[in-house]
Amino acid sequence: MPSTRDIRRRIKSVRNTAQITKAMQMVAAAKMRRAQQAALAGRPYAALMNEVLAEASSRMTGFSHPFLQSRPVRRRAVILVGSDRGLCGALNSNLMREAAKFDKATTTFITAGRKASQFIARTKRSLAAEFTYKDTPLFAEARAISKFAQDLFLKREVDAVDVLFTNFITTLDLRPQSVPFLPVEKLRTVTAGVHAHAGAKDLPGGTHIPFFFEPDEETVLGAMLPHSLNFHIYQILLEAKASEQSARMVAMKNATDNAMQLIKDLTLEYNKLRQSNITKELLEIASAQMAVG
């Protein structure tokens, strides 16, 4: 049975841990707000760019581009977007569980984030390249990842490219999601977390505003398609970072709550033991007095 000194030491240890997790919770909450704002701010631009591309493609017949050419998939590349650090609950384990579903023999991985690279090394899967990205992802980082994947596809080293990441829905709803990246079989108007309608804009009252392209639709589509792929990866990095910070904030909050509950339980146990010791001492004093009397 533990002594009162042992319980006091454990209470002190748990209280110190609670202070650390509380501080980490506050830091993660601040980063989470910035990451969520960045992810939400990028969605309208991505949606509008997809609308323009979808409208341009709908007006053209016979448009050909290397990124639109599909072929039988003998080898696939997967851009795996994980986090650099842990302490974010089941975020990475859920993501890696989805990554393990890809055929090991025919899949090569492009990793973003240290945890993704560690998973590939631990499971001895094929690694084409590994990248890092900051707490505030930069477009240059996304462009490097996208360019590497595009080169693999254009050189026919792979026949398809997918992106596996954790999509940010809400703070408590973070979903591992795999989306196709190359080839672009058809220009969709759906980006990570965004649903938009293709075509021209409609103003209130039903006023229809058509799109006009200069110099022509083919030139605009050919120039914007690579940029849209780069921005697609950038938006995915923003979504993944928002998911990571949200998961870390929730994990640290749960850890702090559990630590405080454990302190309450230990304090109750300490008081019971202390009261028991006092009662025992009183009984011994009373017994001694009766023996003397």
The DSSP string of 138-193 is -HHHHHHHHHHHHHHHHTTS-SEEEEEEEEEEETTEEEEEEEEEES--S--SEETT
The dihedral over CA atoms of 44, 149, 130, 169, expressed in degrees to the nearest 10, equals: 30
Query: Strands, DSSP E only, in the chain?
Result: 76-81, 107-112, 126-131, 160-170, 173-182, 190-191, 194-195, 201-203, 207-209
Catalytic, 88? Answer yes
**265 backbone dihedrals φ, ψ, rounded to 5°:** -65, -40
Catalytic residue among 47, 88, 99, 152: 88
Q: Which long-range contacts (CB under 8 A, 24 or more apart) does 180-183 make?
A: 181/79, 181/149, 181/229, 181/232, 181/233, 182/67, 182/149, 182/150, 182/153, 182/229, 183/67, 183/68, 183/69, 183/70, 183/71, 183/153
Active site residues: 88
